[in-house]
Structure 1
Amino acid sequence: MNGYSFGEEEQKLLQRFACRQPLTLTPQQLAEKWSGITRNEVAFVCQTDISRVNRWLSRGRSYEEPSPYYSQTLALLDIFLEFHEELPESLISHYCNRD
């Protein structure tokens, strides 16, 4: 057993979570919001190559829509960037490895 119990409070949180807005952010939205973020940094966070990021940000025939996985990863990055001062260190440490 892991030591966590699923009780009434957890059930309420589950209900709120199930009714959440979709957690997605396009690379274009991220770049507009966080000026200065590079394509290399986006590729690093998404654990993909720069050519894929270039296709996401292309406006021409080579445009490729990011999969829901990548859009969700970018949305999570945005949350961590925007609210990093308010997030408890335990949450950051749980999801972000330190080198």
Structure 2
Amino acid sequence: MNGNFFGEREQQLLERFAERQPLTLTPQQLAEKWTGITRNEIALVCQTDVSRINRWLSRGRSYEAASPYYCQTLALFDIFLEFHQELPDSLISRYCSPKTIGESE
């Protein structure tokens, strides 16, 4: 088996990680924080359809709460938006499309 060794340093990191705050951001919180983001863009981030986003952002009978999975996805996206300039390229390349910021499809 070829992998990384899980040693004392990794154990300390695990303990810090285990004590973390929950990583969650609702669609409403994202839309309030990042004014100008569209429902289509939120759907793209969550890899879901706009009708689901509409239900999440609805205030009426059609309201549906976003699942913890989607709230965690939105929280990760928020971190990416806030700290993308500080993230190493290797991390961005590992988890994101190779397109550069500002490049059109």
Same fold (TM over 0.5): yes
**Aligned-pair RMSD on alpha carbons?**
1.0
How many residues are aligned here?
A: 99
Amino acid at match of 1:42: I
TM-score (norm 1): 0.95
Q: Percent identity?
A: 79
Q: Report the Cα distance in structure 2 between the residues aligned to 1:67 and 1:57, rounded to whole angstroms.
A: 13
Q: Report the Cα distance in structure 2 between the residues aligned to 1:2 and 1:61, rounded to whole angstroms.
A: 53
Q: Report the Cα distance in structure 2 between the residues aligned to 1:93 and 1:69, rounded to whole angstroms.
A: 22
Q: CA deviation at 1:3?
A: 3.4
Match of 1:32 in 2: 32
Match of 2:95 in 1: 95
- Residue 68 (1) aligns with residue 78 (2): no
Match of 1:59 in 2: 59
Q: CA deviation at 1:4?
A: 1.1
Amino acid at match of 2:93: S
Q: CA deviation at 1:5?
A: 1.1
Q: SS state of the match for residue 41, structure 2?
A: helix
Match of 2:49 in 1: 49
| Poorly superposed stretches of 4+, deviation over 3 Å | none
- Residue 15 (1) aligns with residue 15 (2): yes
